[in-house]
Amino acid sequence: MTVTTAPAVDGRRTEAPPHDSLPSFGGLGVPAALVEALTTAGITSPFPIQTDTLPDTLAGRDVLGRGRTGSGKTLAFSIPMAARLALSGNRTRPGRPRGLILAPTRELASQITDALQPLASASGLRVTTIFGGVKQGRQVDALRSGVDIVVACPGRLEDLMRQGHVHLGSVEISVLDEADHMADLGFLPGVTRILSATDPSGQRLLFSATLDNGVDKLVKRFMHKPVHHSVDPAESPVVAMTHHVYEVGGTDAKKELVRYLASGSGRRILFLRTKHQAKKLARQLTASGIPAVDLHGNLSQNARDRNLAAFTTGDVRVLVATDIAARGVHVDEVELVVHVDPPAEHKAYLHRSGRTARAGHSGDVVTVVLPEQRRDVAQLLRKARITAKPQPVSASSAAVVDLVGEVAPHREPAPAASQSPPQKASAGRAAGGRPGGRRRSGGRSGGPRSGAAGSGRGGEQSAARQGQSRSRQTQNPSRQPQGRRRATRASGRPQG
């Protein structure tokens, strides 16, 4: 049952009846141009969170929306953003957007933009996305051209504010999405500075699964008499999601089970705790004939985009991820989530699991448990309010075979690139920037990959340090290892 509560003027709260039948977007006051854009995208009926919030958001009220992951919050704020900015009649000036949406991760910011873009285009508005890990030149150019709506991660947005490329005093509508995750990542001080730079009389919309970790302070400081809407209890499990706890006897049995769980024909996401293990498992699965890509913080933004696109389009059906993908990554029809490594706390379990059974679809969630993890997992599930009886299994158990269903055809991994014969130094540099035509690890490959040298500034600094080290060694042979100095003298080629 969906219950909506809203504070009345006298401080009381009113309760709305359950949504036995949902009205149309047009019936909720959505402009005809946006209804047409939604219909073109195959979206014809609003979800409960949209039904509850749209009358208030379209009327210009501050709204605090709470709902579990996958409940449809993105459209709940994208529709009023496009509708109200199109009707305001104000002109957008260069570097002064009129709409602002803050998101905690690059992936979520990109997906919000994808959902918002058709609505913005139908309203004659322009949108740009701002986040770190990529060069800022295109983002600055977009701001100078006069974009109406900015979807941003706090860090890069603050950088551009300090440089004078963007000014937020003209923002009419501000949205804070996944506010609790912002708090978990330590972004609230930056969010506070950003919201302080917006027009205090503007409309503020805040959407979050929970209101802990300081999110309530943002509500008290920046929102004016917000109307509260809650769809399902915070952190509630999803009815269409089936949970399984598979106990294995040791690490070898775990590896066999995980490989078989990954072999099905539908999309699945496998969660691990560390970047290294995620990258390693993706490579192992691919080598065994199950194409997989990884998603974690060590990847550059381009690598993240390529891997996520490969998973979204179906080029690969397995995504191996750390908790970076547990919030905000929405790919349709993920049929299985596997906690290869159980998470440390129950909220992470719910957010990981929320990558399946989204938007009305059903899905399964498997937690793989080693003997020494049984007590911790039992406590974790109790806190998450999940009831699932542990089952001792192997990869060939009937329950596992039934869950996996049809196994996808084996796909031979692409053959490794053959070694090129030694070349002259100049030819080597022309081929790949290094003697012999060899590429640095993490270079462009033109397709999905399972790893990169680093992301954002850290990767650029690492590359710079490596380049400086090679330069110093070339200039001062005495600093090179003895064996390398002999090779340099013998070949007559520079080794930098």
Q: In whole angstroms, give the CA distance from residue 384 to residue 334.
A: 21
**What residues in the chain have per-residue pLDDT under 70?**
1-22, 68-70, 211-213, 232-239, 325-328, 359-360, 416-496
What pLDDT is attached to residue 22?
Answer: 61
Q: What is the CATH number of domain 5-231?
A: 3.40.50.300
**If one looks up domain 241-404 in CATH, what number appears?**
3.40.50.300
Tally of CA atoms within 13 A in the half-sphere of 376 that contains its CB: 13
Q: Could you state, in order of their start, the residue ranges of all structural domains in the chain?
A: 5-231, 241-404
Residue 70 confidence (pLDDT):
65
pLDDT at 68 (0 to 100): 65
Amino acid at 468: Q
pLDDT at position 489 is 41
pLDDT score of 396: 96
Q: Directed axis angle between helix 137-145 and helix 154-162, to 10°?
A: 70
- Phi-psi category of 102—alpha, beta or left, where left has phi over 0 and alpha has psi -120 to 50? beta
Q: Which one, of 327, 390, 387, lies nearest residue 108 by Cα?
A: 327
Give me the pLDDT at residue 5, please. 35
- Rg, Å, the chain Cα set: 25
pLDDT tens per residue across span 206-260: 987 776 667 888 999 999 999 999 875 544 555 578 999 999 999 999 999 999 9
pLDDT computed for residue 426 by the predictor:
41
Question: What is the edge-to-edge ordering of all strands in the sheet holding 173-177?
Answer: 127-130, 149-152, 99-102, 173-177, 203-208, 63-67, 227-231
Distance between CA atoms of 181 and 184, rounded to whole angstroms? 5
Backbone phi, then psi, for 403, in 5-degree steps?
-65, -45
5-231 and 241-404 in the same fold = yes
Structure confidence at residue 89 (pLDDT): 85
Residues in the chain: 496
